[in-house]
Structures are given as structure tokens and as C-alpha cells.
């Protein structure tokens, strides 16, 4: 299991582990959960990736050729989403992660991959919650502004303090063009707080979970928006890692003050239900092994672990 030490961006995909092969991943006890998470990220990327306006070198009617703009991936980890961005036919990719080891593994993933990328990745080491992006990324790569900014399974680490959340939002707002999107996945505060409320009053430990995951809250009642911590464990991925609840209403209001307007927010089970009405999403779920003949390839406890997460998207409006 991976200890939450240097890399605070401990993702729930293969980003949080070594670069294992597909055969090994299919033997994982949480394979169904991780596959579903990857499918939801694929759906989110396909739906909300924005194209760069003013591109005249491609036929605007031919969606198979038209580039999907510039992407900034904050908390990119070991590059577990690189194939998703490749399928989205993006034009340029900048990935940032706090862990130098993850960036090194990302580079090795690219070099060892047999798949041809349609873009050149630019990778940098930086804590995006503590420093401006310009500290690490060359000015030439910050213009024109990005069309899409992604933060997958890592935003909740910023909620240790208001200062870190504001630095994160400043990086996003300063780097995203008007009309661009900020998309991502994180834990659902409403789901976590609901689970916490159902822990019996007489319980000595504020713990929830099942054989696949475990969450231990520091306090039952918490006043304030930031620093509401818990310890998180996921089998084969994260061990006893300090994370923080994203109080969504407060975050949405703060994000709007940075020119970011919420356009989408759904818990993972709601995403699944909605996307099952779309033939292209159904086909993708079958192809990725999330479902077989419409049935989920995971047990109820893995589905319970999956359902504590949410997907979101904001548009830069000013």
C-alpha cells in the first residue's frame, strides 16, 4: 500500500500506485472501483473539454480533426489520464504535480508507451496550493491561456486552509481563458457528512467504511469551512492519509468571486444513472469493463466506495 507522504495528491486511479500492467490491474481487489472511476473521468473529459477558439487550420465541421485546445492538469500524478486526453484530441498538455517521483514515473510512462500521443506533454513539479504556477511553468507555456483545467481526485487536499484554497483558485482563474472550463472529481461533502451523522453517539471511534475503504473523522462537529479533517484508507492505493472535507456551497461561492461559475455537479452514482441514458457512454462503459450487458462489474461494497465521490465543472465567466 502507498503511504501518504511526499505525494499529497494520492489519486484513486493507477496514479497512486506503480505503473503496473493491465493484467496485474485486472487482478486487483478494487479493479471494478478503479475502472468505474476512470470511466467517469473519461465521460467528464469528453463532455467538458473546451476547444481553443480561432483555430483556422482545421475544418470546423470535422470534429475528428479539430484540436481540443490547451489543457492544464493540476495534480497529474503518474499520468494515468494521459490516454483520456489523447482520445480527446487535445492540442497541448501541461501537467503539474507536487511529487517529483510521480513526474518521473509520468515521463517513464510516456517513453515506454506504444501509443502515439497527438500532443507533447510538458511536466513540472510544484505545489499548486502553495505557489503560483508561474514559479515552475515557463511564461511561454502560460499563453495563450488554457482552455481546460483538470483536477482529478486531489482538490480536497487544498482544504487544509483558506489560504491554500485561494492559491488554488488564483492559479486556476489566472490560467484559464474566458469560456474555458475547470473540471474535476473530489469527495462529496454531503455524502461524507451524511455517513458521519449516522455513526451512533456512543461510538468511541468516528469511523465509516467497508472492506475496501475506511474513513476516520477527527471530530463529529466542526465549526468553519477549512481544516475539517479525516484519515482515509483505500485498499491497494492509499493508507491512512490526511484529507479534508470540501464544503461545497462555500467553495462554489468563493469560486464565483474568482470568475468561476459552477455549471455541473453530480455525485458519482448520479453521473452513472445519467450517462446510462446515452448510447456513447454505455458503449464506453462496456468497452472499459465497467459494465457487462448493462450490469456493473463490482460488488455493492465497491459501489458504496465509488458513491462517496462527485464530479464537477466550472466555467470561467470573468
**Sign of the dihedral defined by the CA atoms of residues 171, 176, 177, 179, in that order:** negative
Number of structural domains in the chain = 1
The pLDDT value recorded for residue 248 is 97
4 within some domain: no
Q: Which domain holds residue 156?
A: 28-52+63-316
224 within some domain: yes
Q: Contact 225/162 with Cβ under 8 angstroms?
A: yes
The pLDDT value recorded for residue 27 is 57
Return the CATH number at 202.
3.40.50.150
The pLDDT value recorded for residue 28 is 75
For residue 164, report the phi and psi dihedrals to the nearest 5 degrees. -70, -40
Q: Tell how strand 70-74 and strand 92-97 pair up.
A: parallel
3 within some domain: no
pLDDT by position in tens, the chain (length 318): 233 433 333 333 334 444 444 444 455 778 899 999 999 999 999 999 988 776 544 444 454 545 579 999 999 999 999 999 999 999 999 999 999 999 999 999 999 888 889 898 999 999 999 999 999 999 999 999 999 999 999 999 999 999 999 999 999 999 999 999 999 999 999 999 999 999 999 888 999 999 999 999 999 889 899 999 999 998 887 888 999 999 999 999 999 999 999 999 999 999 999 999 999 999 999 999 999 998 999 999 999 999 999 999 999 998
16 within some domain: no
Residue 147, C-beta contacts closer than 8 angstroms, at least 6 positions apart: 49, 50, 51, 52, 68, 69, 70, 71, 176, 177, 180, 181
Amino acid at each position: 500500500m502507498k503511504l501518504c507522504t511526499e505525494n499529497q495528491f494520492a489519486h484513486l486511479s493507477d496514479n497512486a500506485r506503480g505503473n503496473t500492467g493491465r493484467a496485474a490491474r485486472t487482478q486487483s481487489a478494487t479493479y471494478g472501483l478503479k475502472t468505474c472511476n476512470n470511466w467517469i473521468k473519461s465521460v467528464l473529459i469528453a463532455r467538458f473539454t473546451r476547444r481553443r477558439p480561432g483555430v483556422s487550420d482545421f475544418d470546423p465541421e470535422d470534429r475528428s480533426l479539430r484540436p481540443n485546445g490547451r489543457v492544464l492538469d493540476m495534480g497529474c500524478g503518474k499520468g494515468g489520464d494521459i490516454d483520456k486526453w489523447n482520445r480527446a484530441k487535445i492540442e497541448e498538455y501541461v501537467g503539474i504535480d507536487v511529487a517529483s517521483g510521480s513526474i518521473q514515473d509520468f515521463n517513464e510512462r510516456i517513453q515506454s508507451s506504444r501509443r502515439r500521443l497527438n500532443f507533447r506533454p510538458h511536466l513540472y513539479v510544484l505545489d499548486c496550493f502553495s505557489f503560483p504556477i508561474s514559479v515552475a511553468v515557463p511564461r511561454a507555456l502560460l499563453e495563450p491561456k488554457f482552455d481546460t483545467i483538470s483536477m482529478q481526485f486531489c482538490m480536497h487536499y487544498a482544504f487544509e486552509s483558506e489560504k491554500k484554497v485561494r492559491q488554488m483558485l488564483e492559479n486556476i482563474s489566472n490560467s484559464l481563458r474566458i469560456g474555458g472550463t475547470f473540471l474535476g472529481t473530489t469527495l462529496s461533502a454531503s455524502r461524507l457528512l451524511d455517513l458521519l451523522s449516522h455513526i451512533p453517539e456512543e461510538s468511541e471511534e468516528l469511523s465509516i467504511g467497508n472492506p475496501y475503504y475506511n474513513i476516520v473523522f477527527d471530530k463529529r462537529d466542526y465549526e468553519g469551512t477549512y481544516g475539517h479533517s479525516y484519515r482515509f484508507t483505500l485498499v491497494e492505493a492509499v493508507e491512512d492519509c490526511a484529507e479534508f472535507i470540501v464544503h461545497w456551497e462555500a467553495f462554489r461561492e468563493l469560486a464565483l468571486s474568482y470568475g468561476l461559475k459552477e455549471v455541473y455537479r453530480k455525485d458519482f452514482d448520479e453521473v452513472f444513472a445519467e450517462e446510462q441514458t446515452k448510447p456513447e457512454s454505455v458503449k464506453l462503459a462496456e468497452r472499459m469493463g465497467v459494465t457487462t450487458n448493462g450490469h456493473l462489474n463490482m460488488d455493492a461494497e465497491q459501489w458504496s466506495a465509488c458513491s462517496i465521490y462527485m464530479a464537477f465543472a466550472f466555467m470561467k465567466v470573468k
